[in-house]
Amino acid sequence: MEPADAALADAHRHEWGPVLAATVRVTRDLDLAEECVQDAYAQALATWRTDGVPTRPGGWLTTAARRRALDRLRHEEVAVRALPLLVTDEAVDAAPDATADSDLLALVFTCCHPALAEPARVALTLRLLGGLTTFQIAKAFLVPEPTMAARITRAKKKIAAARVPYRVPGPAELPERLDAVLTVVHLVLTTGHTAPDGDDLVRPDLVGRALDLARLLRARFPDEPAVAGLLALAVLTEARRETRVGPDGALTLLADQDRSRWDAGMIVEGTLLAREAMGRSDRATVSRHALLGAIAAVHAEAPSSAATDWAEIVGLYDLLLERWPSPVVALNRAVAVGFAEGPDAGLAALEPLAAEPRLASYHYLAAARAEFLRRAGRDDEAALAASEALLLAGNATERAFLAARARG
């Protein structure tokens, strides 16, 4: 790959969200901003091959995209179409030192406006912030791709019709807005933690973007337990990223990871954040993000898989199911039961989930059955379940692992 091509690919992974956020401030039109950013990336490919890669690729792309936007807005037809859409907060717009971080947060909160249904808020932000494809977002939501494409289109139109302001909300608006934003960051994190398709298990760009956003939210909202909990989850996820695949690129399960290679500083940071999030809450008020951070902290503090307090994890998942009655949470709880009480108990907890339609194409259900069947000594059934999971998995690293399990 040529240096310019490699630099552009890296810029797409790391700069797409910030460049788009800065361009939206000019266009006040999400579709137009996307078009201008895409044009800037196309222009960069030709220019960087000839003139070399600039010192600050993100700054170059932002300038190119904003210039393209201004050119488009000079045409009356485009300007008339753009003006009724996003409303830029005058106080923010007048500040000459408006930062890229502020623009990025403004984009997230704009896409997570209450005018949109929550699934649409999350989907649109994933599309605009991380540049995820519609297929990847659909995979994260466990819905068909055409359904997700329609959802994103409707969300953009709704933002236009509602004249949604492009800014970070004030204290009075925050309670109804923050949870949707935290959901966005969590889904970016989980999509990056295990990519739904492609050759690589992890997308470090998405994990890094989620971590950056969680830190931005923490700096802006230091007293919110849910923010502390989500940051704990992001930090602890990043702390063990390097151990999730072996030197040969093969998937390494949590039980088999070399915990001495986990980032000790991040483990300390993440567990302290998790304790803070839980310490500021009681059973009636604890947030799902605080609980997710607490579950990650229990794993992180255990010196080995065998020493993990699985009973505590099951209890945390029980609370999480009260706050977030999701089939994926139920699946994760069933897995925890299997490690706490044995493979037969795990299989029993998994059994009712087989009738859950939202898990019909979710390969982790079959993969969990395969693992517990293997642990129970039912090798032929385990191989069959692994084959079923293999048919549903899209990530090449996971597929290689499941293929080996299917072969017994």
How many CB atoms sit inside 10 A of residue 198's CB? 12
Q: How far apart are CA 237 and CA 252, in angstroms?
A: 15
Max mean pLDDT among 77-81, 93-97, 323-327 falls in 323-327
Looking at residue 216, its pLDDT comes to 87
Distance of CA 246 to the CA centre of its chain: 23
8 A C-beta contact, residue 321 and residue 329: yes
8 A C-beta contact, residue 376 and residue 344: yes
Span of 37-51, 193-207, 227-241, 379-393 with lowest mean pLDDT: 193-207
Looking at residue 314, its pLDDT comes to 98
Looking at residue 78, its pLDDT comes to 55
How many CB atoms sit inside 10 A of residue 161's CB? 11
Minimal CA–CA distance to 107: which of 34, 203, 5, 208? 34
pLDDT of residue 226 exceeding 90, the answer is yes
Provide the CB-side half-sphere exposure for 313 (13 A, CA): 25
Looking at residue 91, its pLDDT comes to 40
SS3 sequence of the chain: CCHHHHHHHHHHHHHHHHHHHHHHHHHCCHHHHHHHHHHHHHHHHHHHHHHCCCCCHHHHHHHHHHHHHHHHHCCHHHHHHHCCCCEECHHHHHCCCCCHHHHHHHHHHHHCCCCCCHHHHHHHHHHHHHCCCHHHHHHHHCCCHHHHHHHHHHHHHHHHHHCCEECCCCCCCHHHHHHHHHHHHHHHHHHHHCCCCECCCCCHHHHHHHHHHHHHHHHHCCCCHHHHHHHHHHHHHHHCHHHCECCCCCECCHHHCCHHHCCHHHHHHHHHHHHHHHHCCCCCCCCHHHHHHHHHHHHHHCCCCCCCCHHHHHHHHHHHHHHCCCHHHHHHHHHHHHHHHCHHHHHHHHHHHHHCHHHCCCHHHHHHHHHHHHHCCCHHHHHHHHHHHHHHCCEHHHHHHHHHHHCC
**Confidence tier at 93 by pLDDT (50, 70, 90):** very low
Mean pLDDT of 72-91: 58
Mean pLDDT of 53-65: 95
8 A C-beta contact, residue 316 and residue 291: yes
Give this prediction's pTM. 0.82
Looking at residue 94, its pLDDT comes to 35
- Which has the higher per-residue pLDDT, 241 or 175? 241
List residues bridging with 87 in a β-sheet.
Answer: 165
Mean pLDDT of 96-112: 74
Looking at residue 76, its pLDDT comes to 55
Looking at residue 90, its pLDDT comes to 44
Give the pLDDT confidence of 335-364 residue by residue, as tens digits: 999 999 999 999 999 999 999 999 999 999
Looking at residue 27, its pLDDT comes to 85
Mean pLDDT in the chain? 89
| Sign of the torsion formed by the C-alpha atoms of 375, 377, 381 and 383 | positive
**Confidence tier at 122 by pLDDT (50, 70, 90):** confident
